[in-house]
A and B are shown apart, each in its own frame.
Chain A
Amino acid sequence: MKPPAVAEERTVVLEVSELTVSYGKVEALHGLALKVHRGEIVTVIGPNGAGKTTLLAALMGLLPADGEIVYLGERQDAGRTVEKLVRQGMTLVPEKRELFAEMSVEDNLLLGAFDRYRGGHRDHLETMDEVFDIFPRLRERREQMAGTLSGGERQMLAMGRALMARPKLLLLDEPSLGLAPLIIKDIFRTVAQLRKTGVAILLVEQNARAALHVADYGYVLETGELSLEGPSRELATDRRVIESYLGLGGRQ
């Protein structure tokens, strides 16, 4: 995880246009367009049920999607699978964490490097040390079963496990979900630090303030469509964001 060369700073990692996802006859996402650069944190915020998790599932190949997805300069075709995308350095930290509950923290992390190991890279111990430096808490708990961790530690482990794959694009699905404010602060501070490693981060959040605080750029997702976008500092003060959450505006 070396700092990126300055020249590469604006390399586009992910570019999506006209993305549409349907469950049967129902469109869950309609005509989305977004862009993530190298070393950049982009957030998609929006209220419950707006389709945020669906967006990440579609990007990760867990759901079929229509539209154009260009990842690392390559147009994704219908044959894209989770496994292929993992191999190409895309990693998702899911909303439900999906840890291996009856395995130790260390084994969970190790499996994060499974695909690299299979591809012939044997640097997992080194990477694990780097992850432990990012989350010292995990080093203390390395022998402990993942299922016995607290909520915050679980989120750290999920993120640490994802980092073990040395991702180029990290998709984070509601890292704040169900966590107390102090821990959320901690997690987001770490997310902000990760930017220095050069990884591109797409952060999906309901917790708009926390997300906009760390992100460079933000999109607001409302009932399947992107309604607002802009540099996160601007969005943070936009009245319309609050309205879309609490229904104060009285749409239509």
Chain B
Amino acid sequence: MSRSARPRSVLVLFIAVLLAAPLLLPEFYVTLLNYIGLYAIVALGLVLLTGVGGLTSFGQAAFVGIGAYTTAYLTTVHGVSPWLTLPAGLLVTGVVALSLGLVTLRLSGHFLPLGTIAWGIALYYLFGNVSALGGHTGISGIPALQLFDLELRSGREFFYLIWAALLVIILATRNLLDSREGRAIRALKGGSLMAEAMGVDTPRSKIVIFTVAALYASMSGWLYAHLQRFINPTPFSLTQGIEYLFMAVVGGVSHVWGAIVGAGLITVLKQWLQDLLPSLLGKSGNFEMIVFGVLMILVLQRARDGVWPIVQRLFPAPPARARPVEAQALPRRPLPAPGAVLLDVREASKRFGGLVANDRMSFRVRAGEVMALIGPNGAGKSTMFDGISGVDPLTSGAVSFRGERIESLPARQIARRGMSRTFQHVRLLPAMTVLENVAIGTHLRGRKSFLAAACRADREEEARLLSEAAAQIERCGLAGQMYELAGSLPLGKQRIVEIARALAADPCLLLLDEPAAGLRYLEKQALAELLRRLRAEGIGILLVEHDMDFVMGLAHRVVVMEFGQKLAAGLPEEIQRNPAVVEAYLGGVE
């Protein structure tokens, strides 16, 4: 993500150029810029959807069409003011996008784009065949926009409206991505499972960005209708929808500014190719699509991030910032009294087809104790963790957490009740900083939503969340790495980031899956010290770990698993002398 790291002066310069452009440029270029602006608005939605959220849509042109047709129909047939048809168009688009999203977003990733292709075609034919919408001839005589006394008739006047709208939504999108909900959105691509375990409602985040992208498109359609004052189905076809995606990908699908770059490049290139190719080939037709197609394939093979990162290199970002300022501490969850039963697992079983990974496991974890779960590879320890934390629910059995049954709750509901975990295979977002990763842990401790984030009404809460995240990072001894990208840390440190993230959720029960793996001796000692302090505070810890020195020095009680069953349970020294355990680890053949 490219956020406020760039010097503000570049933005000011950019705006100055925009202000001057219509005054200095000939009509043709102003028109071109108008279209670039309109396309960039749609492409920006795709950046949010595809580059950030990891979803995609080929049907954005259809949403543009809904916006355009809504205003065209209402203004020409019913004489409604264009300023009222904008919200009307957004409403229609929102309803359509929501229902489409509810249907397809539950399915695995590729059904959404396929759905949007089908739906893009269906809507295109619908526009062309409904007589009330003018059929294939379309609707003409759409009134010009009226701003107080000024009628926006020329392209030059419209230019300011389009680019102001674009700048506003770019800033709003940037603000959104740099917030609590924004981090949740950025976790969708490659981190849904982790985000759910941190309490994020990922289906909701997906539907929100899908709807927002559709609304952007609809707005572009409204602007388009009043700029052209005439519409027909052609610009809302699937081909155009595909072109929007090309713009986003070529420009840089993970960067908000990439939308403008991509829209600009593709539009200018198209203009140029449409002049060049027919004379070169001696035939007329949309041959520029051949070039676009090949260009796309090359971009995806060679420079998946598009053009924007190259532009970005011209304006190097300033070095990492200082620690977030101390803000008022977040309220903390009252911890249960030491010794109180936090977690009670009874007869928990998990089957994968015919394979029994957990077989009637029972154990308890109390507040202020470290309970270790050990056993040979494949004994079912991580499966047990996934069952308890709701990441992969149990097949049968009961799990009570602080006296409440949780075995059938989804992970995010369990997280809300004060359980937090780390993962055996580290699940960080490698392209985000350590601070942002840990801040995802604070998700449930904030309330400000999308709208507040987009207009920056969330700053006070955001400061508190970041301050909390920073405090947890310092506590775990990673203060020096706060602004490094999580993916650049060694694996052992990444595990510590996972712990900091879990702690940022203010848990009363911590599930740690192999936290010491990959750590050096001194780092292990520091980790053990940290866990002892947490234990002393009254947090309960359930620990899976292979390093026996580490386990035996830290745990109050140990449960040994083998073949998914409980093999033994007891104090560390008892376990170490238990012949059955020695057999399980070393093997008992002859």
Contact = CB atoms under 8 A, between A and B. Distances in A.
Given A181-B588, A184-B589, A209-B589, A247 B551 contact: yes
A24 B549 CA distance: 27
Interface string A10-41: 00000000000001111000000000000000
Interface in A155-208: 174, 176-178, 180-181, 184-185, 188, 205-208
Given A23-B491, A246-B582, A252-B521, A49 B587 contact: no
Nearest to A210: B589
B378 A184 contact: no
Given A49-B546, A178-B378, A247-B549, A213 B490 contact: no
A228 to B, nearest CB: 15
Interface residues of A, number: 35
Contacts of A47: 546, 548, 585
Contact of B563 (A26, A180, A210): A180
Contact of A26 (B490, B581, B582): B490
Interface in A43-102: 47-49
Contacts of A25: 488-491
Nearest to B516: A49
11 contacts: A24-B487, A25-B489, A26-B491, A176-B587, A177-B378, A178-B563, A207-B586, A213-B589, A245-B586, A246-B548, A250-B549
A134 interface: no
Given A23-B491, A26-B490, A247 B378 contact: no
Given A206-B376, A247-B552, A252-B521, A49 B514 contact: yes
Given A26-B518, A174-B377, A178-B563, A247 B548 contact: yes
A247 B585 CA distance: 12
A181 B353 CA distance: 22
B490 A177 contact: no
A251 interface: yes
Given A26-B518, A48-B376, A251-B549, A209 B492 contact: no
Sort A-B residue pairs by CB-CB distance and give the 6 closest, nearest first: A247-B548, A207-B587, A210-B589, A26-B491, A247-B549, A48-B546
Contacts of A188: 589
A5 interface: no
Interface of A: 23-26, 47-49, 147-148, 151, 174, 176-178, 180-181, 184-185, 188, 205-211, 213, 242, 245-248, 250-252
B154 interface: no
Nearest to B353: A147
A210 B581 CA distance: 16
A188 B590 CA distance: 11
B586 A209 contact: yes
B576 interface: yes
A131 to B, nearest CB: 24
Contacts of B586: 207-209, 242, 245
Contacts, number: 83
Interface string B545-566: 0111111100000000001000
A172 B585 CA distance: 19
Nearest to A242: B586
Contacts of B589: 181, 184-185, 188, 207, 209-210, 213
Contacts of B581: 246
Contact of A246 (B355, B492, B576, B588): B576
Contacts of B487: 24
Contacts of B547: 49, 247
A252 B587 CA distance: 26
Given A47-B548, A178-B563, A246-B548, 10 more contacts: A24-B491, A26-B491, A26-B492, A174-B377, A188-B589, A206-B585, A242-B582, A245-B586, A247-B548, A248-B548
B549 A184 contact: no
Contacts of A180: 563
Contacts of B571: none
Interface-centre pick from A24, A177, A210, A247 (highest chain B CB count, 10 A)? A247
A130 B488 CA distance: 51
Contacts of B546: 47-49
B585 A210 contact: no
A159 B248 CA distance: 49
Contacts of A49: 514, 517, 546-547
A248 B521 CA distance: 16
Contacts of B492: 26
B590 A185 contact: yes
Interface-centre pick from A148, A151, A209 (highest chain B CB count, 10 A)? A209
A206 to B, nearest CB: 6
Nearest to B563: A178
Interface-centre pick from B355, B487, B489, B546 (highest chain A CB count, 10 A)? B546
Interface in B460-506: 487-492
Contacts of A178: 378, 563
A157 B497 CA distance: 42
A67 to B, nearest CB: 20
A209 B590 contact: yes
Interface string B430-447: 000000000000000000
Nearest to A49: B546
Nearest to A47: B546
A23 B518 CA distance: 11
A53 to B, nearest CB: 9
Interface-centre pick from B518, B547, B548 (highest chain A CB count, 10 A)? B548
A218 B425 CA distance: 29
B587 to A, nearest CB: 3
A234 B410 CA distance: 52
Given A184-B589, A245-B585, A206 B377 contact: yes
A48 B587 contact: no
Contact of B585 (A148, A184, A246): A246
Nearest to B564: A178
Contacts of A177: 377-378
Nearest to A224: B518
Nearest to A205: B587
Nearest to B424: A49
A181 B492 CA distance: 35
Nearest to B377: A48
A211 B376 CA distance: 15
A161 to B, nearest CB: 20
A175 to B, nearest CB: 11
Contacts of A184: 587, 589
Nearest to B552: A247
A250 B572 CA distance: 14
A28 B582 CA distance: 26
A23 B494 CA distance: 13
A202 to B, nearest CB: 18
Contacts of B518: 26
A213 B550 CA distance: 30
Nearest to A246: B548
A47 B354 CA distance: 27
Nearest to A53: B377
A147 B551 CA distance: 37
Contacts of B588: 181, 209
Nearest to B518: A26
Contacts of B377: 48, 174, 177, 206
Nearest to B588: A181
